[in-house]
Structure 1
Amino acid sequence: MAKSALLVMDVQQDIVRRYAEDDGYLPRLRRAVDAARASDIPVIHVVVGFRVGHPEISARNKSFGAIASAVPAGERAGFAAGDPGASIHPEVAPDDGGIVVTKKRVSAFAGSDLDMVLRAGGIDSLVLTGIATSGVVLSTVRQAADLDFRLTVLEDGCLDADPEVHRVLTGKVFPRQAEVVTIDEWIASIASAAA
């Protein structure tokens, strides 16, 4: 029997602030988190984070190099340890004993111990949510599929700055490697499986 985990990826204060136009996102995501917990499905929070001074970031890295170069040496900003903007949004924060995995690049697996945590827990099925659809969700779908995880993407549990990119990814790209459903559909499926 498959054992699932819900991944809540990059739902951090500074990232959420960039997507303030969708004020329904966090309540929707909270419903998914609550449903997972009620069904004893582990909720794993994945965050991007670095050491102070960003020694993990190469200037050659187009995505993260700009973050490192914008932060004065020694400051706790730019998703460095102690940066308040790097904290998980309180609307979906982990409960006591919740698992938080810190990654160093776009994919939830890059520079993290996520695969080890999943294998140790006997998890073979992932339910993906996060910000952004074209970032962490896309990269994680691709890598998780290559690692032979069974995948579900919660379409309205993901956000992207470009609605058309979100539509194409969730409607055309992700279905090749994952089941794509809404949060309500997923909650109904886990409720019926428990009955």
Structure 2
Amino acid sequence: MGKQYSIEARPEPVSFDPSRTAVMVIDMQNDFGSRGGMFDLAGLDVAPIGRLIQPISRLIEAARDAGLLIVYTRQEHNADLSDAGSEGAPHRIKHKRMNIGRTVAAPDGSESQVLVRGTWNTAIVPDLSPRPGDAVISKHRFSAFFETPLDSILRARGIDTLIFTGATTSICVESTVRDATFRDYRCIVLRDCTTELIGADTPRSNHEASLLAIELLFGWTAESDAVISALAEQRAAAE
């Protein structure tokens, strides 16, 4: 095991070993954070997700320099929606109003589909594009652990701590955090790298409510600068 680095967090400081830590980038894809994506077409303000790009990019750069595994997730489905549940399944019902499977035009005019894999809609936003060596998890439910190889990938690398970024806090981030905690991973959610949309059905208070639940029983919350500083300390010690 490597050295443990302690950072300020809520409800108390938390430590992590960079050699056993991965950064989770949850669903920073065009459907959620870009103009012309699913949320934008549904009339929701995607600006809060767009504002995550810069702090997440800074964190990823520091994490890559320190040798951490970067794990991207994408919520996406088969073109025929065969993996979205039956017509009466809650997941299918709730996504109908968001136009799941709808054929749309990507910004370059090419044909795309809402929440369908292999399309512009489900690609990671360009400024956060994965690089060789990163893990990319395709998921068809909110949790990145549900029917995916994520747990096996993490255990093969000896990972025991997950640092969470992405969107949205109360849905895909929290769902994945809960499943991670059930599997005994230590979860650190970065408050400045996660967010909610602002709309009638997604009040900003959902973000704070999820952070409170995570702090209470599922993990810890922190700021990205605390993690970046710890990684810089690790690099300095190794030189």
* SS in structure 2 at match of 1:88: coil
Residue 174 of structure 1: which of 188, 206, 214 is its match? 214
Amino acid at match of 1:5: A
Q: Does 1:189 align with 2:217?
A: no
* RMSD value, Cα: 2.0
CA contact (8 A) 2:66 2:234 kept: no
CA-CA distance at 1:94 after TM superposition: 0.6
Distance in 1, matches of 2:196 and 2:80, equals: 28
Alignment match, 2:63? 36
CA contact (8 A) 1:53 1:68 kept: no
Q: Does 1:21 align with 2:21?
A: no
CA contact (8 A) 1:130 1:137 kept: yes
Gaps of 5+ in 2: 2-16, 40-44, 104-110, 198-202
Alignment match, 1:47? 74
CA-CA distance at 1:68 after TM superposition: 6.1
> Deviation per CA, 1:87-110, whole angstroms, max 9, x where unpaired?
001111111232101111001111
* Count of residues in correspondence between the two structures: 193
Alignment match, 1:91? 127
**Residues 72/186 of structure 1: CA separation in 2 closer, same or farther (3 Å cut):** closer
Q: Please give the TM-score of this superposition, normalised by the length of structure 1.
A: 0.90
Matches within 5 A, 1:143-162: 143-161=179-197, 162=203
Alignment match, 2:26? 9
**Residues 182/61 of structure 1: CA separation in 2 closer, same or farther (3 Å cut):** farther
Alignment match, 1:61? 89
* Identity between Structure 1 and Structure 2 (%): 26
Distance in 2, matches of 1:85 and 1:61, equals: 23
Larger radius of gyration: 2
> Deviation per CA, 1:44-88, whole angstroms, max 9, x where unpaired?
101112111110112233344454684369x85122232211100
* SS in structure 1 at match of 2:113: coil
Distance in 1, matches of 2:226 and 2:209, equals: 20
* SS in structure 2 at match of 1:156: strand
Matches within 5 A, 1:72-151: 76-151=112-187
Gaps of 5+ in 1: none
